[in-house]
Amino acid sequence: MTLYIVFAIAIVLVIIVIKLPGNKKIIPEQTIPEIDIKKILTAQVLFFNKLNQADQEIFIARVLYFLATTKISPEKGAIITDEHRVLVAASATIPLFHFDQWSYENLDEVIIYPDYFNEKFDVSEKKRSILGMVGDGAMHRKMILSLPALLEGYSRYATSNTAIHEFVHLIDKADGAIDGVPEYLIPKELVQPWLQEMHETIQEIHKNKSDIRDYAATNEAEFLAVVSEYFFQKPKMLQEDHPELFSLLNEIYGKHL
Ligand SMILES: [Zn+2]
């Protein structure tokens, strides 16, 4: 009898492990009912609405997995709801959606601040311009997002998306260097063409000859993060205005379109 129970438990465990897209530890208290997740995604996330039904199911499973394995913690007086949690998880899911094997192995916690912040992590001083960041040092394996920036990314006509931007930095960081070359995603033969396209476009931005946000010209890492925002928020616009850039990003993100 006991042996049967052991077997039954073993089978259930195997099924759970196989069904999950990664192997991270489960945080039981963070679950949100699937039906609520679907409602929030349908109401707010254009990327989700464009998927067919089967892909929507996969998307929801990944949101659930992210929520079950990544702490989302309000700090400095922020108040967060299930909707905010789902939007964080959606932002994590979007850039890696076309890869079967995925999970953010370099992230344990997303901290939500009530507003923009500064280098001292202050949310009340006058000068504050940081919308989100991927932590380093003591903040290693943590990401900070300001709540208004998270929500702004999912407002109707947004071309930017802070949360997606920060998750792209994490993807870039996974190979050890935040350098604008996401080595786990980019096919080897495209590294050179990507670097060339990146440097040419950065030059154009410097000469005011590009409609891409100036911030993309800060360095290679910011370039990848900013153009990825465009790619996921306004793919058609990027394809029309920057076909080369679009087709390289399309290869990097696993033939998104
Ligand atoms: Zn950045």
pLDDT per residue over 2-28, tens digit each? Answer: 555 555 555 444 444 434 456 677 776
Instruction: Check residue 22 and give its pLDDT.
Output: 60
Residue boundaries of the structural domains of the chain: 175-257
Output the CA 130–ligand 1 centroid distance in Å: 9
Output the CA 126–ligand 1 centroid distance in Å: 21
Non-local CB neighbours of 206 within 8 Å, separated by 6+ positions: 217
Model confidence pLDDT, tens digit, residues 180-221: 999 989 999 999 999 999 999 999 999 988 899 999 999 999
Percent of residues in the chain assigned helix, strand, coil, to nearest 5: 55, 5, 35
What are the φ/ψ torsions at residue 134 (nearest 5 degrees)? -100, 125
Sign of the Cα torsion 235, 22, 33, 77 reads negative
Output the CA 169–ligand 1 centroid distance in Å: 7
Output the CA 238–ligand 1 centroid distance in Å: 19
This prediction's pTM: 0.88
Helical ranges in 29-136 per DSSP H: 34-44, 46-49, 53-69, 82-93
Give which of 250, 91, 257, 101 is closest to 184, Cα–Cα.
101
Residue 143 has pLDDT above 90, yes or no: yes
Residue 85 has pLDDT above 90, yes or no: yes
Encoded tokens for 187 = 């096919």
Q: Assign a CATH topology to domain 175-257.
A: Collagenase (Catalytic Domain) (3.40.390)
